[in-house]
Amino acid sequence: MIAFGYRDARLHADELPLERLAEAVGTPFYCTSLSAVERTYGAIVEAFQGLDVSVCYALKANSNLAVLRSLAKLGAGADVVSEGELRLALAAGIPAERIVFAGVGKTERELAFALDSGIAQINVESFPELALLDRVAQARGRTAPVALRINPDVDARTHEKISTGKAENKFGIEIDRAAEAARLAHSLPGIALKGLAVHIGSQLTELQPFRSAFERMAELFRALKAEGLPLSELDLGGGLGIPYQDEAPPHLGDYADMIREVCGGLGARLQIEPGRAMVGNAGLLVSRVIYVKEGAARRFLIIDAAMNDLIRPPLYDAWHDVMPLREPPPGAPLAPVDIVGPICETGDTLARQRPLPPLEAGDLLAICSTGAYVSVMASSYNSRPLAPEVVVRGGDWAVVRPRQSFEELIGRDRLPDWLEESGASDRQRAVEGVA
């Protein structure tokens, strides 16, 4: 991981010992290095130098406002998949003209909000969406800037739950009907057809599936342009993997070179939408051991983080490295442990059979590579308050999302007054209203 390492036998985030942050904010907490995010953004921009590419960060990986603001300041655009994300991107200062809206199920309200916000592009994923968007745009006296998301029927060779580019997946317009969709889009008065888009999945660890998909898109782009359709944008999506364990995902430079080779001659403005690759290794989750439990068959470290804070292991069988905050001395004996949370499900296992040095109740550890698809997927299952988020940059740090309080947790709910003995019943009032 780029931002985290031992110094003086203590795990640091940038220049800060994580132990110190744990004392200050309590555990569990998420820690993101903004300097790591910014370095990665810089490396992506540099890898694509000479190509007309806009980098639209996929918010769904990590939509914390501080992360978004640091990217906005560097000039990044955004890829959003809901009205909430669109509002967050705008609130973070990402200009509307750098925002792309993707997703299979945009509602009428979301499309209207996107049009009113004046965003750069709406990626349409189906014929019914195209029809609805045309109607919504016309009703508002606008034309919607549209790219058609195409499903190229390419196997991304990643986990099935995050594979999006096969014919049987719900995403995109099937490539065999792409020309039909493009002609239709061009004919609709509420639609300004701008380009094509593709995104075949996440955590890709090989270049070849990208290449296959981009070659199909390049061929389609050329054919449709030759037909006279006014295409100027080609959105290549995200999906670049990161090392969690021993994966060797494509190097940024090789990914960019392949894109240059396949798409460089199209005369298209390119877009890429990295999410995980931008933030995944810029964050970790710090937790404290509550108990060390010697089970009949295994030793368990029961920690104060759980599947509500980190759903990826149960959801995707994901691997996250685990590091004690105190560096084990050289030659420390290692013994396998299962690292589990307090939640009442066996699925609440965050790591299995990890060789770790002896840890005791009260010791701190870091679960690594939790910058992407972790805090954004957190819940308060088991009525566990949402964990706080801390960002660091160099020697600076801040709590950018405080720990949820019990008042906030309980205060989300309302009691119907007909459950309260003194209050007049809603049901009674409704009946009286009818009578």
**112 — phi, psi (to 5°)?**
-65, -45
Using CB under 6 A, which of 60, 106, 216, 320 touches ligand PLP? 60
- Is position 12 an interface residue for ligand PLP (rule: CB under 6 A)? no
Shortest gap between Cβ of 274 and ligand PLP (angstroms)? 5
> Which residues, including other chains, have CB under 8 Å from residue 400's CB and lie 6 or more apart?
64, 65, 66, 389, 390, 391
State the minimum distance, in angstroms, from the CB of residue 10 to ligand PLP.
31
CB of 161 to ligand PLP, least distance (A): 12
If binding is defined by CB under 6 A, does position 58 make contact with ligand PLP? yes
Is 172 a binding residue for ligand PLP by CB under 6 A? The answer is no
| Interface positions, 362-421, toward ligand PLP (CB under 6 A) | none
**Segment interacting with ligand PLP (CB under 6 A) among 11-19, 36-44, 58-66, 305-313:** 58-66
The footprint of ligand PLP on residues 61-100 (CB under 6 A) is 61, 79, 81
47-55, 87-95, 112-120, 269-277 -> range binding ligand PLP (CB under 6 A): 269-277
Is 433 buried (19+), middle (13-18) or exposed (0-12) by CB count in 10 A? Answer: exposed
Q: Give the closest residue to 184 by CA, choosing from 176, 175, 193.
A: 193
Cα–Cα–Cα angle for 61, 67, 69, rounded to 5 degrees: 130
Write down the least CB distance from residue 4 to ligand PLP, Å. 20
Quick one: tokens of 224? 């449709």
| Stretch of 55-63, 186-194, 312-320, 410-418 lying at the interface with ligand PLP (CB under 6 A) | 55-63
User: Which residues 184-213 are close enough to bind ligand PLP by CB under 6 A?
Assistant: 199, 202
Closest distance between ligand PLP and the C-beta of residue 82, in Å?
A: 11
Told to judge if 344 belongs to the known catalytic residues of this protein, a careful annotator would answer yes
Comparison of 29 and 255: residue with beta carbon closer to ligand PLP: 255
Among 273, 304, 338, 389, binds ligand PLP (CB under 6 A): 273
The residue among 278 and 322 lying less far from ligand PLP, judged by its C-beta, is 278
**238 belongs to the binding site for ligand PLP (CB under 6 A):** yes
The residue range among 209-217, 235-243, 263-271, 299-307 that interacts with ligand PLP, by the rule CB under 6 A, is 235-243
Cβ closer to ligand PLP: 22 or 133?
133
Given the residues 31, 56, 263, 344, the one annotated as active site: 344
283 binds ligand PLP (CB under 6 A): no
Among 34, 67, 68, 102, binds ligand PLP (CB under 6 A): 102
Contact between 237 and ligand PLP by CB under 6 A: the answer reads yes
Q: 364-367 and 349-356: which strand pairing?
A: unpaired
Residue of 12, 276, 320, 384 interacting with ligand PLP (CB under 6 A): 276
Span from 4-12, 25-33, 39-47, 236-244 in contact with ligand PLP (CB under 6 A)? 236-244
Cβ closest to ligand PLP, residue 102 vs residue 364: 102
Rg (CA), the chain: 24
Instruction: Give the residue numbers marked as catalytic.
Output: 344
Footprint of ligand PLP on this chain (CB under 6 A)? Answer: 58, 60-61, 79, 81, 102, 199, 202, 237-240, 273-277
